[in-house]
């Protein structure tokens, strides 16, 4: 694939079945467009089908197809242009994820089986990132200063044990249940959709990866690879191909997918950045209060 610069974003993607799989159940999406007010935005998504069979590929394919339809009906560009865009986008995205979950459940019932997939979505616009996520694909952010941070939370059994202090992160990486999912689309009960938003500076690099990639590396190794990818003259498609090669060299036994997305322009004025960060802080405060009231009423 030829590296592409579209409007204000650079990107690249790569995928492989891995050493021991014959079917690739990973599916990805990259989209660049404009809001109804003409502000550039980018969307990237990664879905990892569950099951080790064609059913997993069918589930991830459907999730990505429904995501394309959601983006194509102009709802997202309109949402990103409203004054309360984050609040509305959270509601719309969560409802959309649950709709896809229910559709997969119903297809599975009709066929006498189960179709499941993870799905991780990243939206970038006007110096704000928005994440909606279910499963164990991940999003990493590398700032222009070289600081690497994971932005998603794995919906796995071992990840829950680590958060509760019952297991070390080191033990979790090799535990037999490390790939057991607590939340996914199409499998089990209604999933918990992880929502997150924040501010990014121009030149920030985002990585979306399936577990076939990030399970092969320590966090510091991923940070080092992304620092290399974020060089001034780096070709993001070539870097995706390199990341894929690195995972294959480590004998990844699962499908491998990586997507790199980098905004090359954005808000540079200090006053604008401060106003944006204050708005995000107030939005998070509102969201935390809403969750607290919800938990108190349900209790």
**pLDDT tens, residue by residue, 170-207:** 887 778 788 889 999 999 889 999 999 998 988 899 99
Instruction: Supply the pLDDT for residue 174.
Output: 78
On the question of pLDDT at 164 being above 70, the answer is yes
Reported confidence tier of residue 152, pLDDT bands at 50, 70, 90:
very high
Q: Helix/strand/coil (H, E, C) string of the chain?
A: CCCEEECCEEEEEEEECCCCCCCCCEEEEEEEEECCCCCEEEEEEEEEEECCCHHHHHHHHHHHHHHHHHHHCCHHHHHCCCCCHHHHHHHHHHHHHHHHHHHHHHHHHHHCCCCEECEEEEEEECCEEEEEEECCCEEEEECCCCCEEECCCCCEHHHHHHHCCCCCHHHHCCCCCCCCECCCECCCCCCCCEEEEEECCCCCEEEEECHHHHCCCCHHHHHHHHHHHCCCCCCHHHHHHHHHHHHHHCCCCCCEEEEEEEECCCCCCHHHHHHHHHHHHHHHHHHHHHHHHHHHHHC
Q: Up-side HSE of residue 150: CA atoms within 13 Å toward CB?
A: 14
Instruction: Supply the pLDDT for residue 110.
Output: 86
Rounded average pLDDT over 273-285 = 51
Higher pLDDT, 290 or 118: 118
Mean pLDDT of the chain: 84
Reported confidence tier of residue 6, pLDDT bands at 50, 70, 90:
very low
Reported confidence tier of residue 123, pLDDT bands at 50, 70, 90:
very high
206-265 pLDDT, tens digit per residue, is 999 999 999 999 999 999 999 987 776 678 999 999 999 999 999 888 899 999 999 987
Which of 75-89, 97-111, 272-286: highest mean pLDDT? 97-111
| Alpha carbons 247 and 18: distance in angstroms, whole number | 9
pTM of the full structure: 0.86
Interhelix angle 85-111/54-72, nearest 10 degrees: 140
Instruction: Supply the pLDDT for residue 196.
Output: 94
Q: Could you report how far apart the first and last alpha carbons of the chain are, in Å? A: 53
Instruction: Supply the pLDDT for residue 271.
Output: 46
On the question of pLDDT at 91 being above 50, the answer is yes
CATH for 4-268, options being 3.60.40.10, 3.40.50.300, 3.30.470.10, 3.40.630.30: 3.60.40.10
- Judge whether 14 and 257 are in contact, CB under 8 Å: yes
| Alpha carbons 172 and 263: distance in angstroms, whole number | 33
């Amino acid at each position: 694939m030829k590296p592409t610069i579209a409007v204000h974003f650079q990107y690249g993607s790569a995928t492989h079945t891995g050493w021991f799989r014959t079917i690739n159940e990973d599916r990805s999406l990259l989209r660049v467009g404009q809001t109804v007010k003409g502000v550039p935005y980018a969307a990237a998504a990664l879905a990892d089908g569950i099951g080790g069979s064609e059913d997993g590929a069918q589930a991830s394919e459907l999730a990505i197809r429904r995501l394309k339809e959601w983006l194509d009906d102009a709802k997202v560009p309109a949402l990103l242009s409203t004054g309360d865009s984050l609040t509305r986008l959270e509601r719309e995205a969560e409802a959309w994820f649950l709709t896809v979950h229910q559709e997969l459940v119903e297809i599975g019932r009709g066929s006498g089986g189960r179709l499941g997939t993870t799905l991780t979505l990243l939206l970038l616009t006007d110096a704000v990132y928005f994440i909606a996520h279910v499963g164990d694909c991940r999003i990493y952010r590398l700032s222009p200063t070289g600081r690497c941070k994971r932005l998603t939370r794995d919906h796995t059994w071992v990840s829950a044990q680590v958060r509760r202090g019952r297991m070390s992160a080191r033990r979790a990486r090799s535990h037999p249940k490390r790939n057991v999912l607590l939340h996914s689309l199409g499998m089990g009960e209604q999933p918990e959709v992880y929502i997150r938003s924040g501010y990014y500076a121009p030149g920030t690099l985002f990585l979306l990866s399936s577990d076939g990639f990030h399970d092969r590396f320590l966090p510091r190794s991923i940070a080092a690879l992304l620092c290399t990818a974020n060089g001034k003259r780096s070709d993001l498609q070539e870097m995706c191909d390199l990341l894929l090669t690195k995972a294959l060299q480590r004998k990844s036994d699962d499908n491998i997918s990586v997507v790199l997305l980098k905004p090359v322009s954005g808000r540079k004025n200090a006053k604008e950045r401060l106003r944006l960060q204050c708005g995000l802080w107030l939005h998070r405060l509102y969201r935390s209060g809403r969750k607290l009231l919800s938990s108190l009423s349900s209790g």
